Amino acid sequence: MNVKLAEHFYSIQGEGPTAGHPALFMRFQKCNLHCESDQWVCDTLEQMKHRYNFDLEKDVIKDWGKLDRTNRIIFTGGEPMMYQSQIAEIIDFITQSGRLAYTPNIEIETNGTQLISEHLKGMEIQFNCSPKLSNSGNSKQMRYNLAALNKIANTKGSIFKFVIATEQDRDELLKDFDWLFKYYSDKIWLMPAGLSRSQQWLSAPVVAQLAMDLNVKLALRNHIMIWDTKKGV
């Protein structure tokens, strides 16, 4: 099976409830948003110029035993939810291959602007939703889809991650996502902004205090803490 990806790699999940878990990452290229921020960087900018045609078994998975031990696949981007039919085909190919002893855990990183389509309905998927605030440089009309966010919030295992840098971010979060704090506070994770390990350490205490004040979870971005500014890990 051929798949069109920007890149693929084995690494660890850096954020959220499954942080620290080894995983096979598949990164899609395109995104419906164009984020510009001096507090964090888009994961896709370096890959926007490239989209490669990979053989899923020979190039991406390579070692079925390793995938079985890892037991986790994370679709990232870009915006993976723009590729829902292809994701469904990949999941079906892998789970129906008969090559794995265990059914892999599936995670999708998303900005929460795309509705879950028929292609993914009924599949057991953990949606890691990172809605963008005005600090992303996108208009609210572009980045805020209440219907899509509600659908994700009502999906078992879903979580919401917010990168916080300023008091303005905090105020905006509490205003635009008051419904999320009211009904789904157990799904919320706050993350300190920062393009590097040192920047993240500087903002972490403030965000940690905010998480305690709001009674939500804190997520350090472990891939930055471990590899700093290195890409592709």
pLDDT tens-digit readout, 23-60 = 999 999 888 888 876 555 565 555 555 668 899 999 99
> Tokens representing 95?
């789970």
pLDDT tens-digit readout, 187-218 = 999 999 887 888 888 889 999 999 999 999 99
Q: Rounded to an integer, what distance in angstroms lies between the CA atom of residue 216 and that of residue 209?
A: 10
> Token pair 């605030």 is at which residue?
133
At 21 the pLDDT is: 95
Query: Could you tell me if 219 and 189 are in contact, meaning their C-beta atoms sit under 8 angstroms apart?
Result: yes
pLDDT tens-digit readout, 114-135 = 999 999 988 999 999 999 999 8
pLDDT tens-digit readout, 142-159 = 999 999 999 999 999 999
Chain Cα centroid distance, residue 48: 17
**Other Cβ atoms closer than 10 A to 209:** 11
At 135 the pLDDT is: 85
pLDDT tens-digit readout, 83-94 = 999 999 999 999
pLDDT at 231 over 90: no
At 199 the pLDDT is: 87
At 47 the pLDDT is: 54
Looking at the chain, the whole-number percentage of residues with pLDDT higher than 90 is 70
Mean pLDDT over each residue of the chain, to the nearest integer = 90
